[in-house]
């Protein structure tokens, strides 16, 4: 059963004892973090906790950033650092310098970070250097592939965090296996805030999105795909193989790809030709509409793997590992890597696959649980 189409669920004020003039500084900068922050920021406001948002600028394109704040009613960032388009080291270093200066002046009680981006690591390092308590939403995820920049970011951020908010029981077990119970960290199983967001926004999104009409897409007649991971986009062989598979699938079922700006540039540089439908990056509402109306998802995105599952859609993950192992165990996700034949073969084998959604990511109240813990200081 898909959760898409269910009634919209609104947060209501909940009883939280908040220290006088408590302040949280949130550091974010990438699309998935805007979605996660929308739920927690709303819960913080309902609890009467002051929040200052620092946007690093890691995702600077209007379709990768501004649209999320507008659609999801996320409070406008108090600071926008406009740091993007650099190497991992240079980007993280500049973010660290700027965030550290702002934390010195803001003097928050806690710094809150999300996920596994360079913005996450920069915020974590700045907080740790200044000895400000750090809280990490989406803690404990592991792909066990240290070639992924995201894996390094999430491991280091977890180690520096005072409070670890885990979306799944597997994430908790990962931290326990790594000895976090001995580090003095506070570990909490909250469920996934992206499930909160999907439940809250889905009805409005489906009603307001015109993405299908704009691009003449027929509901139930297209596959949704995204490609953005560095290990796929930065290696011309991997990128060419994925595109070749999508070109082949497109001959059987229309393929729609909202294209990340960096992926677009890599395709151009490598001279790789596409025959499927390319879209500019889309906002959250349009993505929820595409998810509802597609037949299957092919992606290297961690967040979209979950959103596909919660939307009742089977997913082929264009990687050799995933942080979301529950999806593989549930039979809703298959790891296909970048091999053209494996991608196309697995697609054909699972074209009629039915996904039955179970509550493996909590009950849709993760943000409330997070805020109640933050309020304790």
> Which are the catalytic amino acids?
228
Contact of 331 with 314, CB cutoff 8 Å: no
Could you tell me how many residues make up the chain? Answer: 377
> Rounded to 5, what percent of the chain is helix, strand, coil?
45, 15, 40
Q: Where are the beta strands (DSSP E) in 110-253?
A: 110-114, 134-137, 163-166, 186-189, 222-226
Distance CA 302, CA 20 (A): 37
CA distance linking residue 245 with residue 239, whole number of Å: 10
Tell me, what DSSP letter sits at residue 27?
E
Residue 333, Cβ neighbours under 10 Å: how many?
24
Count CB-CB contacts under 10 A for residue 349: 10
CB atoms within 10 A of CB 214: 10
Residues paired with 55 in a beta bridge: 28, 80
CA 107, 109, 112, 117 dihedral sign is positive
Span between the terminal Cα atoms of the chain, in Å: 39
Residues 6+ apart with CB under 8 A from 84: 56, 57, 58, 59, 60, 91
Contacts 24+ apart (CB under 8 A), 83-92: 83/29, 83/56, 83/57, 83/58, 84/56, 84/57, 84/58, 84/59, 84/60, 85/60, 88/118, 88/149, 91/58, 91/118, 92/118, 92/121, 92/122, 92/125
Kind plus residue range of the DSSP H or E element containing 153: helix 149-160
In 149-282, DSSP assigns E strands to 163-166, 186-189, 222-226, 254-258, 277-279
């Amino acid at each position: 059963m898909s959760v898409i189409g269910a009634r919209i669920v609104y947060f209501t004020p909940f009883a939280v004892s908040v220290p006088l003039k408590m302040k949280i500084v949130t550091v974010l900068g990438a699309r998935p973090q805007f979605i996660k922050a929308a739920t927690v920021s709303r819960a913080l406001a309902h609890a009467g906790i002051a929040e200052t948002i620092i946007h690093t600028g890691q995702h600077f394109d209007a379709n990768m950033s501004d649209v999320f704040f507008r659609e999801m009613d996320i409070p406008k960032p108090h600071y926008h650092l406009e740091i993007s388009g650099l190497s991992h080291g240079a980007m993280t270093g500049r973010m660290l310098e700027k965030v550290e200066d702002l934390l010195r002046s803001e003097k928050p009680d806690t710094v809150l970070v999300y996920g596994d981006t360079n913005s996450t690591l920069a915020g974590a390092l700045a907080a740790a250097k200044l000895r400000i308590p750090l809280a990490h939403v989406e803690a404990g995820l592991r792909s066990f592939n240290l070639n992924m920049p995201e894996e390094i970011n999430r491991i280091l951020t977890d180690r520096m965090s005072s409070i670890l908010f885990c979306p799944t029981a597997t994430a908790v077990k990962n931290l326990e296996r790594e000895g976090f119970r001995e580090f003095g960290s506070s570990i909490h199983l909250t469920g996934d805030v992206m499930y909160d967001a999907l439940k809250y926004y889905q009805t409005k999104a489906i009603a307001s999105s015109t993405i299908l009409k704009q691009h003449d897409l027929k509901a139930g007649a297209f596959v949704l795909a995204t490609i953005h991971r560095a290990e796929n986009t930065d290696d011309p062989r991997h990128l060419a193989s994925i595109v070749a598979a999508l070109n082949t699938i497109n001959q059987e079922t229309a393929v729609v790809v909202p294209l990340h700006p960096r992926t677009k540039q890599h395709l151009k540089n490598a001279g790789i030709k596409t025959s499927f439908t390319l879209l500019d990056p889309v906002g959250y509402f349009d993505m929820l509409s595409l998810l509802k109306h597609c037949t299957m998802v092919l992606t290297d995105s961690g967040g979209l793997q979950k959103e596909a599952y919660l939307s009742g859609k089977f997913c082929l993950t264009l990687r050799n590992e995933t942080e979301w192992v529950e999806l593989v165990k549930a039979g809703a996700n298959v790891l296909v890597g970048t091999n053209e034949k494996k991608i196309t073969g697995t697609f054909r084998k699972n074209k009629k696959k039915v996904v039955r959604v179970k509550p493996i990511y909590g009950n849709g109240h993760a943000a409330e649980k997070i805020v109640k813990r933050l309020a304790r200081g």
